Chains A and B, each alone.
Chain A
Amino acid sequence: MEYILSVKNLKTDFVDGDQVVHAVDDVSFDIREGETFGLIGESGCGKSATCRSLIGLLKENGTVSGGKVIYKGQDITHLRFGEMQKIRGHEIGMIFQEPMTTLNPVVKIGVQLTESLPDTMNKGEKRKRAEELLRMVGISDAAQRLEAYPHELSGGMRQRAMIAIALAGEPKLLLADEPTTALDVTIQDQILKLLQRLKRDLNMSMILVTHDLGVAAQVCDHIAVMYAGRIVEKADVHTLFHKPRNPYTYSLMCSLPSMVKKGQRLEPIEGMPPNLKEMPAGCAFAPRCRYCEKICAEKTPELEEIGKGHYTRCHLWKKLEHVEGIVEREG
């Protein structure tokens, strides 16, 4: 199998005061060429930190302390700045959550679009390409929008512009960090469809970070569910949604209106994710888990393969064997 990106035992630490927090703890996954890989979980579970670690864009107090990121056979974990800039944008692009704060407020959209185009193009060619990119993401009056500042565009328009800017360098892999979270529901759907279309047309692979299971079900091929910095379940989308074998994944589904069967009650997950500074002994989800037994509080479960390509981190996953047929409803 050809992998465009392999992440092996990635560890990322953040320094907070005099404490070190393991935001990403021993995370591994592989992205096949052309697929969409979902990283899902509640906020603060390490999805974004994982995503940012891949291209070395951590905040100042964060470092990748272990593991490897291999892109097309090249280890890019600790590249020098100059080498990394050749990968960023041109091989691996990234789009962010907040279109409001992700565009430079004092520079025109046109400049932000053209600055990552190759220097071999002249001014006219760059401009033409920039218009093309804007049209590609569904912005109609492209020539006019090139002269606009970010604050002159609506939220959805800004998100489209941001996508166009990220695609200017023609990346082969797109990291999408909660690309629809800050948008209205109607716009969310448009942007999601746009991303799927672009991925197909431009032959890209994509990592989609989201807390929205509905979104993940709609677009992802493979999914890794994260909790407290670790992957707790990993499978292809069909297996994951029909045979969840981790209580956390199952609880997430039961709390989502579009996931449960008609007539079934929604069940919110009680409590909060653990503070990464004070991780409980044993399984991190144990305090909130309805299946929790004695062993869970004592021993940290390992990620084990329970079916072909289906991994779970749970002592008691067999208890979930009866769980089946979580219905995906469109929309």
Chain B
Amino acid sequence: MKEFNYIIKRILQMIPVLLVVTVVIFAGMRLIPGSPAITMLGDHATPQAVEEMNEKLGLNEPLIVQYFLFLRQVLTFDFGNSITLNAPVWDLFKEKAVVTLTLTVMTGLFTLVISFLFGYIGGISRNKVVTKTVDTAALIFISIPEFWIGIQLMMIFGLKLGLFPVGGWGTTWGEHLHSMVLPAIAGGLGTSALMIRNIEEEILKIRRQDYVDFAYSKGLKKSVVRNRYILKNVMVSTITLFSMRIVYMFAGSVVIETVFALPGLGNLLMQAILSRDYSLVQGLVYIFAVIVLVMNLLTDISYSFINPRIKLE
């Protein structure tokens, strides 16, 4: 019951946040120079043509009216049609979401495997050389921007070795997954490096805790102490970092999708911004905001499962 109240409370708290989001997107879009009419009609369009197009798109209404029209769309979850693509925003979102979702899941999986593997090795090893090597490698990958890693991966594994496609998303699920390998690595290395450092530090800290000494003093096997005492406690802080980063991965798909020419939400949003497609940008950013808020809520709920000291209240 407490849990239920907590969730309701959190959902109610989202409302003001989302209202602020609508104002920011709306104002932001109108502040960038250029207009959808000119983009659609080209630089040589006559002033009348532009005027007619503005009329048709409803852009001649006062801004405040336009804002409330947008707000009505938001409240009814009907985001209207894209100005430039002539299709409902919601349908465009659904179509592209598959790509971005697949990318996020694959990036997340890659990150989890890599970071726990190397973080664990670096943290548990008493060999200074091993720890230093893992540390240094992690520091390097934290510092390299992901688009650059993406380009390097494309050159080596795409062009030179021909193992993976350098762009696009294919048509079958086999091709989809195949084409996601390089983007997932490019998008996940930075986060992996961050998490490796975090896991390593946590293990070093937890290894010195009294409860680990107590566990050894009970005559437990090394594997039990490592799994039940060290790893389980490492999870508590690491999962916080991971969930923050997975939201970032989803929202930050723009860069990777652009580099690898993946037809996902990031790519769609990029096009929409370049063509000043007001309704599409507004709709997409709003949906992104909702998704981020929901993911944050899910994360907070998941904490209470991993860390029994946290109560949902």
A and B are interacting partners: yes
Cβ contact within 8 Å between B208 and A60: yes
Query: Which residues of B from 231 to 277 have beta carbons under 8 Å from A?
Result: 232-233, 235-236
Please, how many angstroms separate the alpha-carbon atoms of A177 and B214 in the complex?
12
- Given the known interface contacts A149-B308, A151-B308, the answer about A106 and B233 at a Cβ–Cβ threshold of 8 Å is yes
In the complex, B210 has a CB within 8 A of chain A:
yes
Chain A residues in 8 Å Cβ range of B232: 104, 106-107
Smallest CB–CB gap between A299 and chain B, Å? Answer: 38
Contact A89 B208 (CB under 8 A): no
Interface residues of A in 44-94 (CB under 8 A from B): 52, 55, 57, 59-60, 81, 85-90, 93-94
Q: Which residues of A contact B306 (CB under 8 A)?
A: 106
Whether the Cβ atoms of B214 and A103 lie closer than 8 Å is yes
Interface of chain A residues 118 through 176 with chain B (CB within 8 A): 149, 151, 162, 165-166, 168-169
Partner of A166, one of B208, B218, B229: B218
Given contacts A57-B216, A57-B217, A89-B220, contact A104 B233 (CB under 8 A): yes
Docked CA distance A115–B306 (Å): 20
Across-interface contacts of B214 in A (CB, < 8 A): 94, 96, 102-103, 162, 165-166
Answer whether A89 and B210 are a contact pair too, CB < 8 Å, given A106-B307, A115-B224.
no
Q: Interface size class for chain B? A: 20 to 34
* A149 lies within 8 A of B309 (CB): yes
Cα distance A327–B273 in the bound complex, in angstroms: 88
B219 adjacent to A90 (CB under 8 Å) = yes
**Complex interface: chain B residues within 8 A of A169 (CB):** 218-219
CA distance A94 to B220 in the complex (A): 13
B211 within 8 A of A: yes
Given the complex, which residues of A lie within 8 Å of B210, measured CB to CB?
A: 96, 98, 101-102
How many chain A residues have a CB neighbour from B under 8 Å? 33
Judge if A325 is at the interface, Cβ distance under 8 Å. no
Give every chain B residue within 8 A of A101 (Cβ-Cβ). 209-211
Contact A116 B219 (CB under 8 A): yes
Interface string of B190-229 (1 = CB under 8 A from A): 0000000000000000011111011111111110100011
Q: B218 to chain A: which residues have CB within 8 Å? A: 88-89, 93, 115-116, 165-166, 168-169
Q: How far is the CB of A314 from chain B (nearest CB, A)?
A: 35
Is there contact, CB below 8 Å, between A89 and B224?
A: no
Alpha-carbon separation in the docked complex, A105 to B233 (Å): 8
Q: How far is the CA of A81 from the CA of B226 in the complex (A)?
A: 14
Which of chain B's residues has its CB closest to A52's CB? Answer: B213
Interface centre among B215, B221, B224, B307 (most CB of A within 10 A): B215
CB distance from A153 to the nearest CB of B (A): 12
Known A94-B214, A104-B228, A104-B229: A151·B221 in contact at CB below 8 Å = no
Q: Complex Cα distance A105/B309, Å?
A: 8
Neighbour of A105 across the interface among B208, B211, B216, B221, CB < 8 A: B211
B217 adjacent to A94 (CB under 8 Å): yes
- Residue of B210, B224, B236 ringed by the most chain A CB atoms within 10 A: B210
Cross-chain contact A81 with B208 (CB below 8 angstroms): no
Closest Cβ–Cβ distance, residue B43 to chain A (whole Å): 63
Query: Contacts of A81 on B, CB cut-off 8 Å?
Result: 222
Q: Is the CB of A115 within 8 A of B217?
A: no
Structural contact, A151 and B309, CB atoms closer than 8 A: yes
Separation of A229 and B236 alpha carbons in the complex (Å): 39
Which of A's residues lie within 8 Å of B, judged by CB? 52, 55, 57, 59-60, 81, 85-90, 93-94, 96, 98, 101-107, 111, 115-116, 149, 151, 162, 165-166, 168-169
A-B contact pairs, 27 of them (CB 8 A): A57-B216, A60-B207, A85-B219, A88-B218, A88-B219, A93-B218, A94-B214, A94-B217, A102-B210, A104-B228, A104-B229, A104-B233, A105-B233, A105-B308, A106-B235, A106-B306, A106-B307, A106-B308, A106-B309, A107-B229, A115-B218, A115-B220, A149-B309, A151-B309, A165-B218, A166-B218, A169-B218
Chain A to chain B: the 6 pairs with minimum beta-carbon distance, closest first: A89-B219, A89-B218, A94-B217, A88-B219, A116-B218, A149-B308
